[in-house]
Structure 1
């Protein structure tokens, strides 16, 4: 396992700085977000993130509550406050300063990546020279004599070397965001960098740009013709052929490591997905699977996300992006499974508000079942499925909804589905009306006694609305309340089925 200082070293000075070391350093095992107004359960080896710390008193209280943890991460001014440091000394806990510009959500993802890399190092005893990607990045940086990032094929940062203080704002943004920012990607794409990567060039040199971006030397990481990722070195200028060749020679070593890492991650993801499927199906081993996934007894929701795409590569990219966004939303790896183009996640109900905000900015449809006990997760899944089916119709005018929020629309949808098979809409005078008359009648029935609101829904003038209704009244007896109810049932069937 890795210590607090080891975590700080791997994350680097652009985001973290150790300000107080514990007398007896611990191995770090997990990351815990200190939530406002709630006492988290803190275990030995936890790194506690003071996200909600608002002042000296909050910081001191958090440190005292976190006694026994590996360390507490705070921003200034709390990280340098004397009373805070004295409390840390009494609690025998390390204090790490988080740089002011660092985003907490990004830091959570980065810390988990560091801990994963450390776990990989322990479980992979045959990799002695390059125990993890961060040490591998340092070794490559020594070869090229320049700071290096190792990125996957989707431009997400997997690891980076030390000496990043010798880089530029684009590199700092890349490391802090754990992926190349969109504007930086656009600039490199316009220069044909990614086209050259896909064509198999061994080394690519990108000169300095007018916006202050320093030169880059890029090496594709390939294995068996497949592009696994790339290495990016920030250099001072033109690089000699010898240095370029030495940089390129490190590619096969990195490729082996990425393949090994991907196989391990894929195996873990498949195992996790199997457990999630067991939980969602309500099988006999569901409770055991829930325990293995780390789901506690608090209420959970099942989230269903429409991640289907005709392009398989695009769909995989969407799923990975959603996985990362969900992790930011719940502060840990979510329990996720992909079934028939739908991405299911089991998340604590208390984290739904924050996760909802994270997921609301994307394109995919997102539906949430109601919060339930672990034994009732199959029910929450069926509710999420029904809500997702409703969102797909486009009738509710939103891309994200919870089951309990759209109950009235679900009632109409169920009624319409049941009525359609019986041919309800084919009875009476409805078939003789034009489509615009059906829309007019539907809004008139929805807004009884309020022609202005009905005409506003149709985006027509109130006089036009009244004229249409006069014509409809010549065909249909609208004075009969039973007729109005029957017409509404028919129109609901046509609109919602």
Structure 2
């Protein structure tokens, strides 16, 4: 369609019937949709307060009663402002939900309980974002059409070979797939649902050397069926960048499952050609990020260049004025996989604000909320997400929030400030891992001042070395004693209690410190300098 919309029928075909099944469509499956939103329970009232609603809704974790109430409220709105499609999991089983959806004129779609919401959302967004030319390519006989994408390639390849196609990345994550029929086997269904295939069959593939053969060259490997495991015959070929097998880069694989009918005689040859096309598509994506991705990275200041804010705002459909919020997520310690989980973060950010923008830069993930209800709501959402990443993905991360941000012109600066917070050391990794820029300001500035002193020996007070020499020679604790005294704001009794010594003992030690360093602890400047030196140089100077 020239207006960028797509029919519900085509959308369901792209998502695949193994993932989503149409329960009821009061206006038929030929209705056109253009926009999608992910909504969690807390976001339902907020979405009803808006004007025209998104046309496709993914309700995540919303129980049947809340779904029914929401649909009834939707039914009271002007028909032109209602959503057109509702996709849920368990709520579809409720007769009340079905009746409310039908009465509201909303198509109801059942999503498989094992399907990953982030995968479903990604496929829908990709499908809606495909240009009319890309959609036309999926109906074209020319596999080499320059506008073909991986989904279009999968559809054409399936048609030309008589099988069902899955295109995967090197980690066996499904990138695109063709429509399935009733002969889709366990491995295909589990893969499309975003789950790992049957472990016993994957072990057999490794024993047969299938993965090794695919990695070594451009051979099309014929994998026989395994009736005991309900696995059908497959052809698989690697997607490689570069002609030299030794130096070429593995970009993924294409799997062609045989259905009820045999594959066509030239299926292997067509599959090898499709591998070359897929390599070009993936390489083009790696070499030339999308215009939107470039705009987002420039907006976050990833390239260090200025940004034409009005153009970016128009291209991404974002408000130029604030208040906005910028949130950064960074792994703590050796934790890996945060950037691989950027899709999950994007999903939750879109559920919180459907106009949010998410981008991975280096080992960190950043989220821009162009508008928000309150700083408290942003903080609550970030804390909940940090907890969920740890519990469901075993990712220990910290997050920093910059809010309010004046508008899009201040996003790059806000991201730099967020990085300053995340660059500062974590004193208690098991404590609160979410902080705001305002709350962290003191700690961040002090940490940067301490680091500056540590890196520049000329800023080290040589008298501190004399104190360390005395401690080593006399097995004394003068450094610890004076440090505790300064942290107690000069309260001798409080510091003595912390050190578990008599106040007179501490007074004696402080006099020794004054004598050794040649300073006066009643002098504010001497006290400040000593406190800074002790904090910046905690290890005894040699």
Determine the structure 2 residue equivalent to 1:229: 252
Structure 1 residue corresponding to 2:440, chosen from 406, 411, 420: 406
Determine the structure 1 residue equivalent to 2:19: 15
Following the alignment from structure 2 to structure 1, what is the Cα–Cα distance between the partners of residues 198 and 495? 49
CA contact (8 A) 1:370 1:403 kept: yes
CA contact (8 A) 1:88 1:94 kept: yes
Structure 2 residue corresponding to 1:324, chosen from 343, 349, 352: 343
CA contact (8 A) 2:86 2:108 kept: yes
Task: Call closer, same or farther: CA 1:255–1:282 in 2, change over 3 Å.
Answer: closer
- How far residue 11 of structure 1 moved from its aligned partner, in angstroms, is 1.5
TM-score computed with the length of structure 2 as normaliser:
0.69
Indicate the SS of the match to 1:13: coil
Task: Call closer, same or farther: CA 1:100–1:284 in 2, change over 3 Å.
Answer: closer
CA contact (8 A) 2:483 2:531 kept: yes
- How far residue 304 of structure 1 moved from its aligned partner, in angstroms, is 4.5
Determine the structure 2 residue equivalent to 1:49: 58
Task: Call closer, same or farther: CA 1:376–1:138 in 2, change over 3 Å.
Answer: closer
- Structure 1 segment 330-349 matched on structure 2, within 5 A: 330-331=349-350, 335=357, 344-348=366-370
Answer with 1 or 2: which has the greater Rg.
2
Runs of 5+ unmatched residues, structure 1? 308-316, 456-461
Does 2:31 correspond to 1:26?
yes
Task: Call closer, same or farther: CA 1:443–1:287 in 2, change over 3 Å.
Answer: farther
Structure 2 residue corresponding to 1:114, chosen from 107, 114, 127: 127
Indicate the SS of the match to 1:406: helix
- Structure 1 segment 24-423 matched on structure 2, within 5 A: 25-34=30-39, 35-39=43-47, 41=50, 43=52, 46-51=55-60, 53-54=62-63, 55=65, 56-62=68-74, 64=76, 67-76=81-90, 78-79=91-92, 81-117=94-130, 121-122=134-135, 127-128=140-141, 133-134=150-151, 136-141=153-158, 146-163=163-180, 166-167=183-184, 169-177=186-194, 180=196, 187=203, 191=207, 192-205=209-222, 212=229, 214=231, 216-222=234-240, 224-225=242-243, 226-234=249-257, 246-257=267-278, 259-260=280-281, 263=284, 267=288, 269-274=290-295, 276-278=297-299, 280=301, 283=306, 285-296=308-319, 297=321, 299-304=323-328, 321-331=340-350, 335=357, 344-348=366-370, 350=378, 352-353=382-383, 355-357=385-387, 361-362=394-395, 367-374=400-407, 375-391=409-425, 395=427, 397=429, 401-416=435-450
- How far residue 266 of structure 1 moved from its aligned partner, in angstroms, is 5.7
Following the alignment from structure 1 to structure 2, what is the Cα–Cα distance between the partners of residues 469 and 269? 66
TM-score computed with the length of structure 1 as normaliser:
0.74
- How far residue 53 of structure 1 moved from its aligned partner, in angstroms, is 3.1
- How far residue 85 of structure 1 moved from its aligned partner, in angstroms, is 3.8
CA contact (8 A) 2:184 2:259 kept: no
Determine the structure 1 residue equivalent to 2:533: 490
Following the alignment from structure 2 to structure 1, what is the Cα–Cα distance between the partners of residues 305 and 452? 27
Determine the structure 1 residue equivalent to 2:246: none
1:273-303 deviations in whole A, cap 9, x for unaligned? 2454256479472244234223335533334
- How far residue 47 of structure 1 moved from its aligned partner, in angstroms, is 0.5
Following the alignment from structure 1 to structure 2, what is the Cα–Cα distance between the partners of residues 72 and 334? 21
Following the alignment from structure 2 to structure 1, what is the Cα–Cα distance between the partners of residues 427 and 389? 20
Task: Call closer, same or farther: CA 1:60–1:277 in 2, change over 3 Å.
Answer: same
Runs of 5+ unmatched residues, structure 2? 244-248, 373-377
1:161-191 deviations in whole A, cap 9, x for unaligned? 33365455554332122x7579799847854
- Return 51-60 or 270-279, whichever deviates more: 270-279
- How far residue 416 of structure 1 moved from its aligned partner, in angstroms, is 2.7
Following the alignment from structure 2 to structure 1, what is the Cα–Cα distance between the partners of residues 140 and 481? 72
Following the alignment from structure 1 to structure 2, what is the Cα–Cα distance between the partners of residues 339 and 185? 37
- How far residue 157 of structure 1 moved from its aligned partner, in angstroms, is 1.0
Does 2:443 correspond to 1:426?
no
1:207-261 deviations in whole A, cap 9, x for unaligned? 6789947365422234543543211244699x99x86862353231353255246
CA contact (8 A) 2:238 2:250 kept: yes
Following the alignment from structure 1 to structure 2, what is the Cα–Cα distance between the partners of residues 443 and 210? 73
Q: How many residues align?
A: 473
- Return 137-146 or 24-33, whichever deviates more: 137-146
